[in-house]
Structure 1
Amino acid sequence: MPQNQPTNKIQNPETSVPKTPEMNERDFLNDMLTTEKYMTGSYNVALNEASNQTLYQDLATIFKETQDCQRNLYNLMFKNGWYAVDQAEQPKVQNAYQQFSGYKNQLPYAVQ
């Protein structure tokens, strides 16, 4: 990116961590966040495939706990400046809104 252009990143000031070969707090949190994301995806597949209602309810509870853990880890990393998100550009937001509004109108019982 050219140096003259403003960045469209949303990020808190970064908390410094030691730059050593050993894993630091950021590395551990990033590893945990990646694991939780993988697990929520796997639980989602299991929920889609569960044919037994009791098993489905148990998986749904575990999925929710795992998803909440993932969100808490994300929030902690964002708070420490170790996770940045791209700021959405207004024209892209408007285009996506129009696109999905069009999809909604194609549904048989769309709420208008």
Structure 2
Amino acid sequence: MPSQKVNNPETVVPDTSQMNDRDFLNDMLNTEKYLTGSYNIAMNEVSNQNMYQELSTIFKETQDVQRNLYNVMFQHGWYSLEVADQQTMQQSYQKYSGYTNQFPYVN
């Protein structure tokens, strides 16, 4: 079965050695992804509750920026996703559904 992509028509940008809008957005998106990952680690390791709350607020703001950049790139056709077939989704579900039994505090 050929792979199926979910995307929009691509907005054409100049193909030059200089950075274009797509390049700038991609760079910003990757930076925001890196920052959210770093804030996540910091939140997991901080012991001070006030600092945790501050990091949590910054994390949420950064995550929102990341999502907005993703949406702009997706709308311009610069970010595409693979469609998962039903069999792959079912296999993943079966693989991970048993994990909840390992954690008695999760209902």
- Smaller-chain TM-score bracket: over 0.9
2: CA distance between counterparts of 1:63 and 1:70? 10
Q: Residue 50 of structure 1 corresponds to which residue in structure 2?
A: 46
Normalised by the length of structure 1, the TM-score is: 0.89
2:61 is aligned with 1:65 = yes
Which amino acid in 2 is paired with 1:18?
P
- Compute the displacement of 1:106 (Å): 3.5
Q: Deviations over 1:35-65 (max 9, x none)?
A: 0000000001110111100000000000000
In the aligned structure 2, how far is the partner of 1:6 from the partner of 1:101?
Answer: 28
Whether 1:8 aligns to 2:43 is: no
Structure 2: segments with no counterpart, 5+ residues: none
Q: TM-score, normalised by structure 2?
A: 0.93
Q: Identity over the aligned pairs, expressed in percent?
A: 64
State the AA in 2 paired with 1:38: Y
- RMSD, matched Cα: 1.3
Structure 2 CA distance for aligned equivalents of residues 54 and 109 of structure 1 = 27
- 1:1-112 matches, within 5 Å, as 6-111=2-107
Q: Please, which runs of 5 or more residues in structure 1 have no aligned partner? A: none
Residue range with higher mean Cα deviation, 93-102 or 82-91: 93-102
Aligned length: 107
